[in-house]
Chains A and B, each alone.
Chain A
Amino acid sequence: MTTTSERLHRAGDGVSDPIVEVRNASVTYDDGDTHVLDDVTFSIERNEILGVVGESGSGKSMLASALLDAVPAPGHLSGEVLYHPDRDATVDILEFSDAELNEYRWAEVSMVFQGAMSSFNPTMKVGAHFSDTLKAHDRAVSEGLEFAREILSDLYLEPERVLDSYPHELSGGMQQRALIALSLILEPEVLVMDEPTAALDLLMQRSILLLLEEIKEKYDVTMVFITHDLPLVASLADRMAVMYAFELVEAGPRDQIIGDSAHPYTRALLNSTPNIDAPLEDMQPIPGKSPAPVNVPTGCSYADRCPLASDTCRRQDPTFEAVREGHAVACHHWERASEEIKLTFGEAAATGGDAGGDPR
């Protein structure tokens, strides 16, 4: 058991009422030789939307799996994943029996995966997925389906038509929304979404994001939105966490991560993103590539690509430092980052933006 005061003292991450706490979580393969999640500690505030950003192979999907103790074998998850059903209760889900885990998944913490096509069984109607889920969790089917209809119409779908369709009869955007409805059918406290909109066009992505915000307000659900697409999640999240090479490198309120990020990688990521209002000549790719899980360098894993890297960075892994209350960064030189790596879109926004840009 952890007391509230202990939590507050330790956190410094601006989270006062965490619903899930992850402490020193690591996922290893090959008897500990390969780290695909490296000592990650963070908390999810009750009723917030947390955006987790990382590139392919940064370990962000492992983080999602860790929240449900669903790391694919033979991976080994160590550390603690604490779930607080309410303010004063704490359970460690890694200690759960199989039966407890079954109840925890979907009913307490539910997950939406990328690519709805592969999450639905193509030979079953969408409605059957809902009733099967209700039966598997010993819920009343007719009441459950009534609730399903409500969520479906909240997501701007026609409930009867969708429930009576096979997955292939729906468009990609409709499938993905039906999948979100399915994940909410047992009224979970936390919804973890791993690239829930990646296969969709921007217009549908953006529409779904708007609906998620409404769903969050209506059903009081905490959301974790995991994606490689920083600008997308920036429009939705309250707080953001940035992952690089299987580690968490920065976490804080959305406005600070976007407007005043302290980690050189976050700043480079922001500058590499084509932005509709930024001057065109200022977009810069990040040189080099991220390390593989087997030979993560000693010291800071971003050092090889970082313009601020010094000998200290190559020798010693940086620990988390508080930039300000609620905003933490793992970098030796974060104080110099804002001076030496200018954010390109910020100035554009300040001056009203030059949407045109000059041809090169």
Chain B
Amino acid sequence: MSRARDTAADSDGDAPLISVNDLEVHFETEQGLLEMFDDPDVVRAVDGVSVDIGENDVLALVGESGCGKTTLGKTIIGLQEPTGGSIAYRGRDIWETKAGNTDLSFDDIRSSLQIIHQDPGSSLNPNRRIVETLSEPIRLTHPDISAGERRSRIYSLLERVGMTPPRDFASRYPHQLSGGEKQRVALARALLMNPDVILADEAISALDVSLRVEMMDLMLDLQEEFDTSFVFISHDLSNARYFAAHGNGRIGVMYLGNLVEVGPPDRLISDPKHPYTEVLRWATPNLALDASEAGDPPMRKIDIPDPVNPPSGCRFHTRCPEARTACTREQPELRTLEDGHRAACFRSESDHRYWESDPIED
């Protein structure tokens, strides 16, 4: 489905829900007094990323800590201003809209793009009952709704996210809820706005393993029911696979600010085209007994390089077991291989000069 959407959006001008084009988010590190005349260090959190998100779509972003997946996610929902490239909501640039240059209001865009944070404990105000936390967004956006209607809306939503009896849960404080229940409240709060996209930033990582499937199932049910798209951020490839496969979406693999492979979950996992995706696959625990003994990692170094000075050429070349000298000079582009499957690696081009260059020795 998502494949069809990608191409359809390009050809007939029907703008996708979210369109990210050559996006760059660079951060300057803070400068002390002594360094004030030096050029600041620039962290290239996101660099040259292009991706579309359709209606009722799922994009699962995976990668290790510091690869820029959260920054990309926050930029997609308009919480982070890009330093280059563009991000458009239904064809209107989000940051142009904020400046008042389009026919949409920024408030509408903001409420259509919601977030669920990683740590459910710190995303809820500990001094407020659940019902108060959930009333606030309705009061702000629909001041004319009566208190009674507000409550009934909250109760039905709590019931929908599996918190029954809703009256009982609504009157509790966050510390009286378990981690899974807090995350359900966070999900209910995001859904109150009837959003088009929810960014779930490691939303299940803090939960027990046995609760993760349940929470993902709940989000997927709501995806169908409310027609919501998800940007699902995870460092765990098996969770990303579960969520993206059930949501009819794609997995996007990030490495040091670049999107290095995007594709449907089955194809990306069974036939990865980027060596880094192989690394992530190796890192994913497997319960099948013959596979559970991990061999050596398919990479040359354990630690991710400093994002302030990312390696030249292909950023993965310092760890890549397949790297050759060509990889140090030129950065591969994200190329379409088959329908919907894209990868940024010279190895997918049979006539690239990569094949003639020398392997890198450590």
Output the least CB separation between A327 and chain B (Å): 15
B302 within 8 A of A: yes
Output the least CB separation between B47 and chain A (Å): 20
**A203 / chain B contacts, CB cutoff of 8 Å:** 64, 235, 279-280, 283
**B217 / chain A contacts, CB cutoff of 8 Å:** 285
Residue pair B266, A356 in contact (C-beta under 8 Å) = yes
Which listed residue, A206, A276, A285, touches B211 by the CB 8 Å rule? A285
Residue pair A286, B210 in contact (C-beta under 8 Å) = yes
A210 and B293 CA atoms in complex are apart in Å by: 10
Residue pair A56, B288 in contact (C-beta under 8 Å) = no
Stretch at the interface among A26-34, A137-145, A344-352: A344-352
Which listed residue, B213, B237, B241, B246, touches A272 by the CB 8 Å rule? B213
Which listed residue, B179, B220, B279, touches A56 by the CB 8 Å rule? B179
**A202 / chain B contacts, CB cutoff of 8 Å:** 64, 235-237, 280, 283-285
A27 and B358 CA atoms in complex are apart in Å by: 62
CB closest chain-B residue, reference A255: B289
Residue pair A171, B210 in contact (C-beta under 8 Å) = no
CB closest chain-B residue, reference A289: B178
Within 8 A of B (CB), among A46-75: 55-56
A270 within 8 A of B: yes
Output the least CB separation between B244 and chain A (Å): 10
Which listed residue, A206, A268, A277, A280, touches B291 by the CB 8 Å rule? A277
**B212 / chain A contacts, CB cutoff of 8 Å:** 272, 274
**B237 / chain A contacts, CB cutoff of 8 Å:** 202, 276
A312 and B277 CA atoms in complex are apart in Å by: 50
A186 and B330 CA atoms in complex are apart in Å by: 48
**A346 / chain B contacts, CB cutoff of 8 Å:** 288
Within 8 A of A (CB), among B222-274: 235-239, 241-242, 245-246, 248, 265-267, 269-270
B66 within 8 A of A: yes
Output the least CB separation between B260 and chain A (Å): 14
Residue pair A235, B294 in contact (C-beta under 8 Å) = yes
Residue pair A210, B179 in contact (C-beta under 8 Å) = no
**A156 / chain B contacts, CB cutoff of 8 Å:** 301-303
**B283 / chain A contacts, CB cutoff of 8 Å:** 202-203, 205-207
**A228 / chain B contacts, CB cutoff of 8 Å:** 208-209
B7 within 8 A of A: no
Output the least CB separation between A346 and chain B (Å): 7
A346 and B220 CA atoms in complex are apart in Å by: 26
Residue pair B292, A258 in contact (C-beta under 8 Å) = yes
Which listed residue, B64, B242, B269, B296, touches A204 by the CB 8 Å rule? B64
Chain B contact residues: helix, strand, loop or mixed: helix
Residue pair A349, B289 in contact (C-beta under 8 Å) = yes
Residue pair B245, A357 in contact (C-beta under 8 Å) = yes
B286 within 8 A of A: yes
A255 and B237 CA atoms in complex are apart in Å by: 24
A307 within 8 A of B: no
Output the residue of B209, B265, B290 with the most chain A CB within 10 A: B209
CB closest chain-B residue, reference A207: B302
Q: Report B34-54 CB contacts with A as 1/0, cut-off 8 Å.
A: 000000000000000000000
B287 within 8 A of A: yes
A273 within 8 A of B: yes
Q: How many residues of B contact A (CB 8 A)?
A: 53
Residue pair A274, B241 in contact (C-beta under 8 Å) = yes
Which listed residue, B63, B288, B293, touches A345 by the CB 8 Å rule? B288
**B246 / chain A contacts, CB cutoff of 8 Å:** 280, 359-360
Within 8 A of B (CB), among A62-103: none
A360 and B87 CA atoms in complex are apart in Å by: 31
Residue pair B248, A206 in contact (C-beta under 8 Å) = no
Given A205-B283, A231-B285; A359-B65 close (CB under 8 Å): no
Residue pair B213, A349 in contact (C-beta under 8 Å) = no
Residue pair A269, B65 in contact (C-beta under 8 Å) = no
A359 and B58 CA atoms in complex are apart in Å by: 13
**B267 / chain A contacts, CB cutoff of 8 Å:** 356
CB closest chain-A residue, reference B65: A201
Residue pair A274, B210 in contact (C-beta under 8 Å) = no
Within 8 A of B (CB), among A262-312: 268-270, 272-278, 280, 283-286, 289
**A206 / chain B contacts, CB cutoff of 8 Å:** 282-285, 294, 297
Residue pair A345, B287 in contact (C-beta under 8 Å) = yes
A229 within 8 A of B: yes
Given A210-B294, A235-B293, A356-B270; A174-B303 close (CB under 8 Å): yes
A209 within 8 A of B: yes
Given A207-B297, A230-B209; A349-B291 close (CB under 8 Å): yes
B315 within 8 A of A: no
Which listed residue, A269, A276, A289, touches B284 by the CB 8 Å rule? A276
**A277 / chain B contacts, CB cutoff of 8 Å:** 286, 288, 291
B214 within 8 A of A: yes
A122 within 8 A of B: no
Q: Report B147-184 CB contacts with A as 1/0, cut-off 8 Å.
A: 00000000000000000000000000000001100000
Residue pair A276, B209 in contact (C-beta under 8 Å) = no
Residue pair B238, A276 in contact (C-beta under 8 Å) = yes
B281 within 8 A of A: yes
Which listed residue, A205, A272, A273, A276, touches B281 by the CB 8 Å rule? A276
A318 within 8 A of B: no
Within 8 A of B (CB), among A189-210: 200-207, 209-210
Give 12 A-B pairs besides A156-B302, A278-B287, A286-B210 with Cβ atoms closer than 8 angstroms: A56-B208, A171-B65, A171-B303, A201-B63, A206-B283, A230-B209, A258-B292, A272-B214, A273-B287, A274-B216, A274-B242, A356-B265
Please list 24 pairs of residues, one from A and one from B, whose beta carbons are closer than 8 Å in the complex, sorted by A's number.
A55-B210, A156-B303, A173-B65, A202-B235, A202-B236, A202-B237, A204-B302, A210-B297, A231-B287, A234-B285, A234-B292, A235-B292, A235-B293, A255-B289, A269-B209, A273-B209, A273-B210, A273-B287, A276-B286, A277-B286, A355-B269, A355-B270, A356-B267, A356-B270
Q: Which 4 A-B pairs have the closest CB atoms?
A: A356-B266, A349-B288, A231-B285, A285-B214
